[in-house]
């Protein structure tokens, strides 16, 4: 079993009034039958603030980086949490905390 997609790196950048989040994942994708298929941006209470869907497997591209732009975060947000998902195991139990810098 490939297990949950692992977050290798996450970068957050303010862009005007919005934010851009770039996440580097590693997962033992086997093809269309089992692959990392997305990640969420959540607040500390687990509310989903944004979602990045991954539309295909990355068998020969590991680790790989994808971004989510134009993300509106509530005023005063100081941190977000990234949670990964794979097509077989669903959402990972653990989320990675990422601090925001203005």
Q: How confident is the model at residue 16 (pLDDT cuts 50, 70, 90)?
A: confident
Identify which of 23, 37, 33 has the alpha carbon closest to the alpha carbon of residue 92: 37
For residue 58, is it within any domain? yes
Residue 1, pLDDT > 60, answer: no
Q: How confident is the model at residue 76 (pLDDT cuts 50, 70, 90)?
A: confident
CATH number at residue 90: 2.60.40.730
For residue 1, is it within any domain? no
pTM: 0.89
Res 52: pLDDT: 96
d(CA 71, CA 20): 6
d(CA 67, CA 93): 21
For residue 34, is it within any domain? yes
d(CA 22, CA 25): 10
Residue 97, pLDDT > 90, answer: yes
Total domain count for the chain? 1
Q: What burial class does residue 23 get, using C-beta atoms within 10 Å of its C-beta: 0-12 exposed, 13-18 middle, 19+ buried?
A: buried
Res 102: pLDDT: 63
Range of the domain at 18: 6-99
d(CA 87, CA 35): 6
Res 57: pLDDT: 87
Q: Report the mean per-residue pLDDT for the chain.
A: 91
Residue 9, pLDDT > 90, answer: yes
Identify which of 12, 15, 23 has the alpha carbon closest to the alpha carbon of residue 70: 15
């Amino acid at each position: 079993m490939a297990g949950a997609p692992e977050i290798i790196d996450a970068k957050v950048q303010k862009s005007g009034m919005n934010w851009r989040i770039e996440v580097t994942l590693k997962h033992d994708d086997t093809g269309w039958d089992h692959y990392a298929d997305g990640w969420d941006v959540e607040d500390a209470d687990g509310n989903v603030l944004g979602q990045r869907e991954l539309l295909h497997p990355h068998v020969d591209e590991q680790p790989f980086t994808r971004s989510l732009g134009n993300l509106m975060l509530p005023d005063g947000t100081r941190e977000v949490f990234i949670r990964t998902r794979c097509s077989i195991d669903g959402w990972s139990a653990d989320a990675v905390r990422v601090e925001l810098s203005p």
